[in-house]
Chain A
Amino acid sequence: MAVSRIAFCTSNDRNSCVTDLLNNPAVQAGFLPFIVALALGLALARTRFLALAAASGVIVVLSLTIGFSLEPFTSVKKMVAVTLVATAIALALEAAGIGARRNIVAALAVAAGAAAVWTLQRVLQQMESPAAWAVAAGAFALALATASGATMAGSSSALRGAVIGACLGWGSGVLALLGASALLAQLGLAVGSASAAVALLQMLRGREAPLGWTVVVPAAVAAPIIGVLACATGELRWYCLIPLPFVALAALLVPAGAFRRPWQTAFATGIAALVPVLVAVGFAWMSSSNSSPVG
């Protein structure tokens, strides 16, 4: 008890300690989304609805930071809305027994691209026309490529999907942090942590979830939009986002049956998928030699 007090807070008031803990950005974006997703994942392990556990991270961060009010309907709130709507669509597809057919994935990817542009709408309105078109086209292409690649790569394996989701979420979170936007960073890291919890669940159970091809959808939709917003509303350079679509391709380098045990597959897939993430973070780091935003 004494140890935990020293670790988490110095106050003797238990309520104050809990408040301090809940106000800690690392707890908000990492620990709690992971725990909540783990609990939800346990409850949903035998269903097709694991995407709900992966998306729960966003809800945890919202509830602990800016709340659920839609006013003002900023680009960050639009991003959250898009992620939740994409998750709802994914769950509906799973409930209807619709698999990862090419036309379904293509439609999801085009919708993700259009949603990225819609999210940026107010930022684009402040720009000169040529720049606005270039930013809109870039956002559309990035979201399309990332969402289609990640959904295709994750469609044959729920474990791979969860690992890709973790890498995309964490990657976009770190990029946003380097772009001087802490809330976007928290949202990205939370999606990553929740996806990691879904992956861990499968590793602990010793077998992949046989259902749930859409587990990657929340991260596949959220990560590119977080990256684009970190560029448009923060200080991140656009070229730092180029490696994001390659996360799914790198994950495919590890075949689904390459290892006997799920944790081995997850570990190898994670290492492969983290390479493009590290390249992106390296670009961001070099572009500004920065670290975190300050309050």
Chain B
Amino acid sequence: MRNITYFCRLKFSTLSNFNVNDIRKQFPVLDQQVYGKPLVYFDNAATTQKPLCVIERERDYYLHENCNIHRGVHYLSQMATEAYENARKTVAQFINAKQPQEIVFTRGTTESLNLLATSLGQLLVGEGDKVVVSAMEHHSNMVPWQQMLMHRSVISTGAKRSGEISSNLLVIRMDKKGVLDLNHYEELLKQRPKIVSIAHISNTLGTVNPIKEMIAMAHKYDIPVVIDGAQSMAHQVIDVQDLDCDFYVFSGHKMYAPMGIGGLYGKMEWLEKMPPYQFGGEMVDTVSFEKTTFNKVPFKFEAGTPNVGAALGLETAVKFIQSFDRQEVEAYEDELLEYATEQLANIEGTRFIGQAPKRNGLISFVIDGVHPYDLGTIIDKIGVAVRTGHHCAEPVMTFFGIPGTVRASFAMYNTKEEIDIFVKAVEKAANMLR
């Protein structure tokens, strides 16, 4: 077995050493032209680009280590199993879980949330029971709960059909700045919902929710809390023990890791009680035609062959992030956000959607008299990649009374020069379209 150390080559310890040009060299995809113009990639909230070390790690797995895990007696299988379980350890340490077994590998945030809606739902939610989400959730943290609640009603009453409005999904209100109303949240908690599930950072508004406070509030009523961390893992230091959340879910591909891998952190006492989500190989203990007993946590939630190569890529991505001074990266990304906000504000008719005092990673806006789709189409031609539309959060758009927004989202490899190109492109497009 080749013993390769995959920690990334970049190691910065002081503020003056943060060199974005060195970081960009780790991301070959950034160094290209689209329509003859240098690519400005501001769609990081959809997916981040991958550094060379992550790409090489996954490639290396297939070159030298590929094997199915947990079941082979032979050398390669044992090595691959060890590598996969080490990746679990690295991820656990990264978010300060008490033990590696509290990390379940999934395909990403969406699968993690579906797992919870199914399994935790089965454990806790009966007919007429309620679940709390917030008004700014991504569809992934809303539809699984909504459908699970509807399914409960359909089964128990036989009368309601799926597609009907569920009154059991309680929604925390927000104000026009994109800040959640905690008084309303308290009111909802008094209705004794069975589960609370909220985003750490909103993918449309950039709002950083006060999750620690919100978790504590729910715990006063003994209600478990799920945190959707899809937008936070790449940007903020996460400590699940300090937050005291019951579950924290995330996607690898939004934190410099490959697609197809993500995770679910759950407190051991919950994971032990929860029923399996999918059935098949690996997740079983003993099987007969009459009866099956299940493997222990986390394996009982990992049916079938997992994406081992991507899990190793995720581990490398974690090490890549850890190779930086996190505060420094956060400060740099905040600086980008602030600069972009200032510059965009100079364009006539710009309206920011989401003006919470605490925002992170992205900026969402509309320009009066200009459809977001038109704007996105024009600036694409200038080489700028942003997301336009409802960002999988249609209720948020309905709330603000707009068809969609333009969303620019940043990563550590973006620069102020790119923001200048972006702002000029927006200005040019707005002038063409108005």
Check if A and B associate.
Answer: no
